[in-house]
Each structure stands twice: as C-alpha cells, then as structure tokens.
Amino acid sequence: MRHLRIRVTALSVAAFLFATAVAPAANAQSLTFGLFERYLDALRLELNIPGLSAAVVQNGKIVWDHGFGSRDVAASLAAAADTPYPVANLSETFGAALVLQQCIDRGDEIALNDRVVRWTTFPEPTTTIAQVLAHVNASNVYQYDTTRFGSMSGVVVECVDQPYPRIMATEVLDRLAMTDSVPGRDVVEAPGSQVFPAVTLDRYRGVLTRMAAPYRVDSKGAAIRSDYTQRSLTGSNGLISTVRDLAKFDTALADGILLSPESRAAMWAPGSSRPTGLGWFVQSYNGERLIWHFGLAKDAYSSLIVKVPGRQLTLILLANSDGLATSFTPTAGDVTQSIFARLFLTLFIS
Amino acid sequence: MTPFVGSAFGGNTNIIVLSPSVGDKKFTFGGSLSFLSDGLLGLEAEVAHTPHFFESSRGGLVLQSRVSTVSGSLIAAMPIAITGYSLRPYLVGGVGLLHASSHGLIDLNSFDSDLLALNLGGGAIGFITNKTGVRFELRNIRNLSPDDSTATTSGRSTRLSFWRASVGIVLRY
C-alpha cells in the first residue's frame, strides 16, 4: 500500500513537471504556428493567390502543414498539404542533386570542373558544370539563367544512360516515397509512357488529376484561369510535387541520404561573389545561414523553400499563381526581400 | 478658416497592409485656412487626419494605423459676380505631405511612410450669414513619391490613394 502511494505521488510529481515544463513550450509553439497561419492566409488574400500549400519541417519531421484557399476556384476544391503543384524552377534543386549523386558521388570520370560540352550539347565551349550549377557564366559572373541550368539533365543522362524522368523517379522520387510527385506532365503521354510501368503511370495520372489549376491575377486582383505550358522534366523545370513530398526531399538532403557529405557541402557552400551554391541560393541572416530556392512560372505557379540548417528548420510553400515571387526579385539572391520568407524568419528565427 | 469632418473612402494601395479595409469608409477630420477673394483664385493650407485608416472590423492584422495629410493648394472658384449669394463652386488642387502608418502584431506589416502627395478635388461654399458658411467638398489624394522601405504586392513603387468627402463650417474673417 505504501509502495502504491509512493508511485502515485511520483507519477503526480512527474505529471506536474510535464505540465509546467513541457506543456507551455508546446503551447508557445502552437501559438506561433497559429500566428504564422493567420499571417500566411492574410498574405495569400492580399496577394490574391487562389491556393497555397505550406509546410514547416523541423528536425526531419513535418511539424506543421496546411492548405489555404482553392486549388480549383471554379470547382470549389480546397488546397491541401497534399495538393500537387508544378514547382517550376525549384526543380533545379533536384537537378543539382542528381548531377552530384549520379555523376560526382559515383566516382565516374566526370568532375564539377569539366566543361559541359564534354558531356552534353551546350552553346558555351568553356563553361564548366560547376559554373552552370552556380548560375555563373564563363567569366565567373553571376547570371541567373534557368535555360542554361536545364541542360544539366543531359549531363545526368550521360552518366546513367537512362531517360532523365526515369532517373528522377528511381533515384529520388521512388527512393524517398514521394508518391504524390510526377517527373514531368508528359510522362503519361505516348511515347514517354513507355518509360514507366502501367501501375506507375496510373499513379501519376491520379496525381495530375489532383494538381492545382494555374491562375493569373489581373490588375484588379481577380484570379483568372490560365495555362501552364511546361510539360517535360528538364534539369531546371517540370517537376510536379506537394509540400509533403518536398519535405521528404528536404529531410533526405539534410540526413545525407541522397548525397555524400562532400557533395552536400559543395552544394550549400556560398560563392565569394555570387549568391549561389550549386543549384541553391545561399546567404546569411542574423548570423544564420539560409539555403533557399524559388520557382516561378509567370501567371501560373510559384514556389519557395527556405532552409535554416542551424535550426534544422525548413519552410516549403507552393502556390497556384505567381504571387510567391512577385513581391520581390528572387534572382537578386536575397530571400529576406520576400514577405513570405520574412514572416517565417520573424516568427521562427528572430 | 474651415474645420471639417467627413469620410475617407475608395482607398487603394499596393502596400502589403494585411487588412481587408483599405477601401472601407473611415471617419476623417481636419481644418483649412483659405484666402479666397471675390474673384477667381485663392490659396489654401490644409491639415487632415484619418485615424484607423488600415484597420478593419472584418479581420486583418493591423492594430493601429492612420493617414495624415498636410497640403498647400490653389483654389479656382466661380467669381462672386456670377454666383451672387448662392453656392459658390470651386476646384482645388495642390501638393503636400502624406504620412501613412500601420502597425501589426509583428513588424512584418508595420510601416511609417512620409510621401509626397497630390490632391485634386472640388466643392461648393455657401454663406448662411456674413461670417459663417458651409463647405461641401470631394477630394482625391494620391502619393507622388514612393517609399522603398515598404513591401508592396507587386514589388513595384508604393501606391496609395483615397477619396475624401467632407462637410465643413466656414468661418470668415
């Protein structure tokens, strides 16, 4: 009886300690996310973004995700955390990962300082793979050019000798169970459909059916259904994904599942006279390193991922208008000019 | 001298305010000092204040806000020789300073902006007694200069404009 009383007392003390020490921290976090949610939706409304999906990843886990507005306005279909969007040139982060994973980490003869023309067709004879991945020209001057970056798929294909969408699917999407992602809209169309088995194509078709519709916003703020013409996956464009799937990619990069430590370090190392690493933007903010990238399909879609490695914290946003990238100039290389990034940094870092 | 009250309405801005209320009607008040002869032209100095300009009862994340203007204007009025003792219509236009501020729960949508502003409008003055009259006026106020420190929805220069309808008591000296 005495032992039972001691155990009950010990449990009560433990419960009290939990309630006073842990619960307030949890409450503070839920208050922060509540505020973040309110501000995010207010920003969405003010920028006339029809649909927005968002996730925050901390220590390798999604600690918050949410959908705002509509993925299809006319059909009144709500945007959710599992709504697929074309991520536009956010696909560059995947392209860079595949170059490093399939060409550099495999120890083949290829090196980052190889000229691109050694491995694929490219209009600049002296430009190296590292220069394209860092968005610098042959004179080492920063020059953001998503078309140049797109040619990196040719380098990956040369390394693996398979179609690029198939490499993306097997080496990243399937490996990380990114089951709501599609390596280009045209993979379900002939003749590209021969690359994947029927069951995979059925899954891809299901994802594309749920894909958010694209919208352009007119001068009066009305969202008007538009068209998105990018159908094929390239080194810099064409991937369709969700915030939850992108969170898996983010965690895999952080955990070293996809890349060697050396390649990952090179990918996220800032350049001396440019705002880029390899396939990512890199900058400092209040003593923290920020690693980020954006996606912009004008009058259709936009995306933003902001990583704070020092806090093991990531924000992922996908939208079905270009509103995430219109309030700042992302190619200038300063994500703190983005009001969405500023909201995240203000609430979670400052 | 004309103390006045009225309503600011039809507001439009590309500043990221995080409030649905910019176009709503808001109480406004102010005063003007005018020199208006019996002829065509006159001069005016005016101060106006609109508290809670960006706040809304329909939600939003603005806790405190205001828009104030100080301006100097030229008045072109119908000469008394034509209007006699009935209402005297006039047009008014000038430039001045527009101060807009908004403060939210966090700094994200907080700003204090001083902008060069243009105002254009018109109204009518009617005297009830020799010294006292009433003024009805409608004015459009818009900024001319940008504030590069405020975030805008388009990433372009700051744009803020609104209408102001007012009624004032004219005290003539």
Q: What is the pLDDT of residue A18?
A: 46
Q: Record the pTM.
A: 0.85
Task: Report, as an integer, the average pLDDT of A281-307.
Answer: 95
Query: What's the alpha-carbon Rg for chain B, to the nearest Å?
Result: 17
pLDDT digits (tens, 9 = 90+) for A249-270: 999 999 999 999 999 999 999 8
Distance (Å, rounded) from C-alpha A295 to C-alpha A330? Answer: 9
Q: Which of B29, B24, B30, B27 is nearest to B9 (CA)?
A: B24
Cis peptide before A191 (omega within 30 of 0): yes
| Low-confidence winner among A112-116, A149-153, B148-152 (lowest mean pLDDT) | B148-152
Residues of chain A with Cβ-Cβ distance to B59 below 8 Å are 42
Task: Report, as an integer, the average pLDDT of B81-92.
Answer: 88
**Contact (Cβ atoms closer than 8 angstroms) between residue B9 and residue B23:** yes
Task: Report, as an integer, the average pLDDT of B167-173.
Answer: 91
What residues 26-65 of chain A have any CB closer than 8 A to a CB of chain B? Answer: 35, 38-39, 42-43, 45-48
Multiple choice CATH, B2-171, 2.10.109.10, 1.25.10.10, 2.30.110.10, 2.40.160.20: 2.40.160.20
Confidence of residue B107 (pLDDT cuts 50, 70, 90): confident
A6, A89, A338, B36, B160 from B44: Cα distances, Å: 85, 55, 42, 8, 23
Q: How far is A350 from chain B (nearest CA, A)?
A: 11
**Contact (Cβ atoms closer than 8 angstroms) between residue A247 and residue A62:** yes
Distance (Å, rounded) from C-alpha A285 to C-alpha A179? Answer: 34
pLDDT digits (tens, 9 = 90+) for A129-159: 999 999 999 888 999 999 999 999 999 999 9
Q: What is the pLDDT of residue A190?
A: 64
Candidates A326, A328, A343; nearest CB to B108: A343
Q: What is the pLDDT of residue A138?
A: 85
- The H or E element containing residue A52 is strand A51-58
Q: What is the pLDDT of residue A27?
A: 67
**Contact (Cβ atoms closer than 8 angstroms) between residue A124 and residue A138:** yes
Q: What is the pLDDT of residue A193?
A: 61
Distance (Å, rounded) from C-alpha A70 to C-alpha A44? Answer: 11
The β-bridge partners of B34 are: B44
The β-bridge partners of B111 are: B102
Candidates A42, A327, A346; nearest CB to B153: A327
Locate B88 and state its tokens: 């005297």
Say whether pLDDT at A8 is over 50.
no
**Contact (Cβ atoms closer than 8 angstroms) between residue A84 and residue A212:** yes
Q: What is the pLDDT of residue A1?
A: 45
> Count of alpha carbons within 13 Å of B89, Cβ hemisphere only?
3
Confidence of residue B38 (pLDDT cuts 50, 70, 90): confident
Confidence of residue B82 (pLDDT cuts 50, 70, 90): confident
Domain ranges of chain B: 2-171
